[in-house]
Amino acid sequence: MANRRILGIDPGSKVTGYGIVELTDKARVCYIASGCIRSGSGAFMVRLGEIYRGVVAVIDEYEPSELAIEDVFVSKNVASALKLGQAKGVAIAAAISRDLPTFEYSPRKVKKSLVGNGSASKGQVQHMVKAILSLQKSPPTDASDALAIGICHVNTSHS
């Protein structure tokens, strides 16, 4: 069976983190790539275009088989929730346009999966991402969060 390759996405209207991990046939999780799509501070419609095209470009370059995305359910207020929802929506649409099945995980579920504690700190999650993927140093926060979502999906769907 071909290795499973997961694209994790940490959605945001200004910065969208992405991280790609692969589950090898030896049941090891390997780091493939990670980074941030910076959609800047211009008109919101332009930013949505940057996010959509950015995620499509990542999918076309790394050819993941699945998308895992954070199920955000809290936000400062209704206006910021509508913006974050749209940013997340265009990222999901990029996956739909490439026929990738999409899975959602709450921040609590991601923390529990990596650290064993749903209330773990961001620092603890970053530490585990670095350890699990045998990285020399921690990727930037948004990329690290995206890798964590990808690892959580591997753990959840593999077991």
Q: Is 25 a catalytic residue?
A: no
**Which of 24, 40, 41, 82 forms a contact with a copy of itself (CB under 8 A)?**
82
Examine residue 89 and tell whether it contacts a copy of itself (CB under 8 A).
yes
Examine residue 86 and tell whether it contacts a copy of itself (CB under 8 A).
yes
**Which of 29, 94, 110, 147 forms a contact with a copy of itself (CB under 8 A)?**
94
Cα dihedral 114, 72, 135, 30, rounded to 10, equals 80
Examine residue 59 and tell whether it contacts a copy of itself (CB under 8 A).
no
As a whole number of angstroms, the distance between CA 59 and CA 78 comes to 30
Q: Is 142 a catalytic residue?
A: yes
Distances (CA, A) of 158 to 68, 91, 145, 153, 154: 14, 24, 20, 8, 6
Kindly state the smallest distance separating residue 76's Cβ from a copy of itself, in Å. Answer: 8
Examine residue 85 and tell whether it contacts a copy of itself (CB under 8 A).
yes
Q: Is 50 a catalytic residue?
A: no
Query: Widest CA span of the chain, in angstroms?
Result: 46
**Which of 30, 81, 115, 135 forms a contact with a copy of itself (CB under 8 A)?**
81
Residue (30 or 50) nearer to a copy of itself, CB? 50
Distances (CA, A) of 140 to 53, 84, 85, 89, 101: 21, 20, 23, 23, 26
Residue (42 or 140) nearer to a copy of itself, CB? 42
As a whole number of angstroms, the distance between CA 9 and CA 28 comes to 20
Examine residue 14 and tell whether it contacts a copy of itself (CB under 8 A).
no
Range list of β-strands (E), the chain: 4-10, 15-23, 29-38, 66-70, 102-105
Q: Which residues are catalytic?
A: 10, 70, 142
Residues forming the site for a copy of itself (CB under 8 A): 45, 48-49, 52-53, 72-75, 77-79, 81-94, 96-97, 102-104
